[in-house]
Amino acid sequence: MANKSVFASLAGRLLPRAKAVNAEGAIAYAYGAEHRLAQLAMTGTFGGGFYQDAQVEVTALVDAAMVVDPLFLAQAAVHVREKGHMKDTPALLLAVLSTRDPALFARVFERVVTSGKMLRTFVQILRSGQAGRKSLGSRPKAMVQNWLNATTDAQLLAASVGNAPSLADVIRMVHPKPETASRADFYAWLIGKPAELAALPQVVQDLLAFRAGGSAKVPEVPFQMLTDLALTPSQWAEVARNGSWQMLRQGLNMLERKGAFTVPGVTDHVAELLRDPQRIRAAKAMPYQLLATLTALSSEVESRLRDALHDAMEISVSNVPQFAGSVAVCPDVSGSMLSPVTGYRPGATSTVRCIDVAALVAAAVLRKNRQARVLPFEVKVREARLEARDTILTNATKLAALGGGGTNCSAPLAALNKAWMAPDLVIFVSDNQSWVDASQSGQATAMMAEWTKLKARNKAAKLVCIDIQPYGTTQAAERADVLNIGGFSDQVFDQIADFAAGRMGPNHWVGQIRSVEL
């Protein structure tokens, strides 16, 4: 009889070798250059994470942006902004692109810089020197000037909210040449210079008149411009009636304190707006933002508004498909997942943790796929009693309560193999820093070994690994049946649907980014 110790190891030798190491020093698979850039950009927030500080994260993204083809860099910047709804990382990619290919930079500038806040972020990044230059340079300066001159008066006023740099700082830096006398006076007013009152835009005149007590009508300006004024509850009610979806989501506690909801009809108006599907999609609302709002919502806020947020949550993940065949979803509930999903930021650390996002994705999949198995894991698979008909927040809260322990990404697959189960689709949501199941360098990861066992029983099975932190390695090597994707916006559901249905292009995620038309 053949020597079992020799021939039993053959399957293991055919597995892809894991030559990289993760943040825990355990073996892992490295992404290719383009995939690494996409993963870092779709998960990066430049806040300190569990395993790295903000500067390490920035340096890694810049390094990744410098080694890919400039065309892919431009496509990634657009994809990360338009599909991932990210804010800081696309601005950094755009800044690097300005040094590598000025022509491509000019072509994608307006698709990345879509608001005054993005404009200020871009200028801040360029001046920091992190992208390879400390001054704007002629092409970036011209693009900023064009943006300032082309934007509407209302958009420009909204852009004046915020500092470091302020819009006034940006105007002083680039010296835009106004095309009208009105815009010239507007620029002067924005930077604190004398301006002709009658020449200012009407919205600015309305604001100044209101501040001076010459008008009782609340101007339609960003609410941040009104918070230091002594408005009545009726006036705050008017602010609520005119507010955007995002403003109302963020300002519910403030409007409650100001008495806006004591005015008849305001609560119902805001509730209907918050649950309006068109408004939710137009606002590009991320499910985790709604989770943050629900978590921070004051107990004083009326239950009708809380219910509206729950409805908005359901709508925000409405593109989660009902997958054909059997499904298993595996949220990572280990200790490293207790860190804030957008990193540690002095004075602005999010209350939403990585574990909350993982739980949210799992709950959303279960909502549409009621027979799905949910396998939360840390060192081992944890027990979770979930009802598919419960709200997404209810199930997400149950899963998030399991947090703690080491990371063992192979545990759910090992549990499925032990039970002799082989789902058609397995979805992981993790930071991918597995170490409990670490084997020797140069071998396959334990997760890949367990996946190979499962595939032996179901040749059509597919594995999706959603990475929600910018650490740059994975436990499952990319191949025809494995998709590695990064991010925590609802766009990941579209990607999973395409992959599960066989609609993904070559090289999976990277192929889709390469298909972005510029």
Domains in the chain, start-ordered, CATH in brackets?
Answer: 34-216 (no CATH), 222-316 (no CATH), 322-514 (3.40.50.410)
d(CA 191, CA 185): 10
d(CA 155, CA 119): 12
91 confidence band (pLDDT: 50, 70, 90): very high
Cross-strand bridge partners of residue 381: 377
Sheet hosting strand 462-467, strand order edge to edge: 373-374, 327-331, 425-430, 462-467, 482-486
d(CA 511, CA 279): 31
Contact between residue 20 and residue 92 where contact means Cβ atoms under 8 Å apart: no
**Between residues 216 and 434, which one has the greater pLDDT?**
434
Percent of the chain scored above 70 by pLDDT? 94
- Is the pLDDT at 131 greater than 80? The verdict is yes
N-term to C-term CA, the chain: 62
* pLDDT confidence of residue 4: 45
**Between residues 53 and 271, which one has the greater pLDDT?**
271
* pLDDT confidence of residue 3: 46
- Is the pLDDT at 12 greater than 90? The verdict is no
d(CA 452, CA 395): 30
Give the mean pLDDT of 326-330.
Answer: 96
Reading the block at residue 475, the tokens are 């436990």
Express each pLDDT in 420-432 by its tens digit: 999 999 999 999 9
Residue 429 has φ and ψ, to the nearest 5°, of: -130, 115
Percent of the chain scored above 90 by pLDDT? 54
Give the mean pLDDT of 201-230.
Answer: 85
Give the lowest-confidence range in 186-195, 236-245, 312-321. Answer: 312-321
Give the lowest-confidence range in 19-28, 44-53, 309-318. Answer: 44-53
* pLDDT confidence of residue 442: 63
Average pLDDT over the chain, rounded to an integer: 88
CB pairs under 8 A, 24+ apart, for 106-111? 106/139, 106/143, 107/74, 107/518, 108/74, 108/77, 108/78, 108/518, 109/143, 109/147, 110/147, 111/78, 111/81, 111/82
* pLDDT confidence of residue 51: 66
pTM, entire model: 0.89
Contact between residue 343 and residue 469 where contact means Cβ atoms under 8 Å apart: no
Contact between residue 14 and residue 449 where contact means Cβ atoms under 8 Å apart: no
Quick one: 129 exposed, middle or buried, by C-beta within 10 A (0-12, 13-18, 19+)?
exposed
Give the mean pLDDT of 102-129.
Answer: 94
Quick one: 390 exposed, middle or buried, by C-beta within 10 A (0-12, 13-18, 19+)?
middle
505 confidence band (pLDDT: 50, 70, 90): low
Give the lowest-confidence range in 321-330, 380-389, 440-449. Answer: 440-449
Q: Which amino acid type is present at position 435?
A: W
Give the mean pLDDT of 329-358.
Answer: 83
